[in-house]
């Protein structure tokens, strides 16, 4: 989903949440049955994530993103049947904003590709929130071109997508309220393979940083 769509949705969420009935806010809401209630829950989650970041700062955490060279260590050395290429990455730092990314492509003997990306949004909370805001709503999409849905793996939320015509599969998981791990692959029949590859990334170590 494009960033502009996210921004518009977030504006709707904030408006609805701020004007909603206080008694309704206290009710347990099933996001799959009540889309407006789901947006309220999502706004609460965004607020909670912001508090977590403030707590990190209060403890002396500089919130600087991990240098991309350090992120290389969390890219798997091998994937069965695929050879690892040369990793690339970048780190961006400016006043009030810091994020870094690392990615690598793997290829098999047929030239089929798998790519893994890790992004650290440590001091770019708004970007992380924008990327993950819809995942907790039980959202799904099914068109002649694509089938996708929000997923939960352990305590992590994410999104999986399968391009029906091009046979490309992808999965994105959010970890530790700061990391995004994305995997996409060619010539797939579903998302099973990319989810298994995502499991090779040492997410527990990332979250503990």
* Structural domains counted in the chain: 2
Model confidence at 137, in pLDDT bands (50, 70, 90)? confident
86 belongs to a structural domain: yes
Instruction: Write down the pLDDT at residue 191.
Output: 96
Tell me the pLDDT tens digit for each residue of 108-121.
Answer: 999 999 999 999 98
40 lies in the same domain as 140? no
- Please choose, from the candidates 201, 204, 205, 203, the residue with its C-alpha nearest in 3D space to the C-alpha of residue 79: 201
182 lies in the same domain as 158: yes
63 belongs to a structural domain: no
pLDDT tens-digit readout, 18-33:
444 444 444 444 544 4
Residue 146 — φ and ψ, nearest 5°? Answer: -150, 150
CATH of residue 144:
3.40.1000
Range of the domain at 23: 3-58
165 and 143 in a common domain: yes
3-state secondary structure of 194: helix
pLDDT of the residue at 147: 96
Q: What are phi and psi of 122, to 5 degrees?
A: -50, -45
Q: Which residue has the higher pLDDT, 14 or 61?
A: 61
Instruction: Select from 40, 58, 76 the last residue of a domain.
Output: 58
Number of H helices, E strands in the chain: 7, 9
149: pLDDT strictly greater than 70: yes
The verdict on 122 and 202 lying in the same domain is yes
pTM of the model: 0.71
Residues 179 and 97 in one domain: yes
Same-domain check for residues 79 and 138:
yes
Of the pLDDT bands very low, low, confident and very high (cuts 50, 70, 90), residue 152 is confident
Please answer whether residues 181 and 118 qualify as being in contact, where contact means their C-beta atoms are separated by less than 8 angstroms: yes
């Amino acid at each position: 989903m494009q960033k502009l769509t996210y921004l518009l949705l977030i504006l709707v969420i904030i408006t609805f949440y701020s004007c909603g009935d206080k008694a309704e806010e206290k009710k347990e809401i099933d996001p799959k049955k009540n889309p407006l209630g789901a947006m309220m829950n999502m706004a609460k989650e965004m607020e909670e994530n912001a508090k977590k970041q403030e707590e990190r700062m209060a403890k002396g955490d500089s919130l600087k993103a991990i240098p991309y060279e350090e992120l290389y260590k969390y890219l798997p050395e091998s994937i069965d049947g695929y050879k690892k290429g040369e990793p690339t990455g970048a780190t961006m730092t400016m006043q009030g904003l810091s994020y870094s990314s690392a990615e690598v492509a793997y290829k098999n003997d047929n030239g089929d590709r798998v790519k893994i990306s890790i992004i650290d949004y440590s001091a770019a909370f708004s970007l992380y929130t924008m990327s993950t805001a819809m995942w907790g709503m039980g959202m799904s999409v099914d068109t002649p071109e694509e089938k996708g849905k929000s997923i939960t793996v352990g305590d992590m939320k994410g999104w999986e997508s399968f391009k029906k015509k091009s046979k490309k599969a992808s999965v994105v998981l959010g970890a530790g309220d700061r990391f995004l791990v994305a995997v996409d692959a060619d010539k797939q029949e579903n998302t099973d393979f990319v989810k298994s590859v995502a499991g090779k990334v040492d997410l527990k170590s990332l979250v503990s940083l």
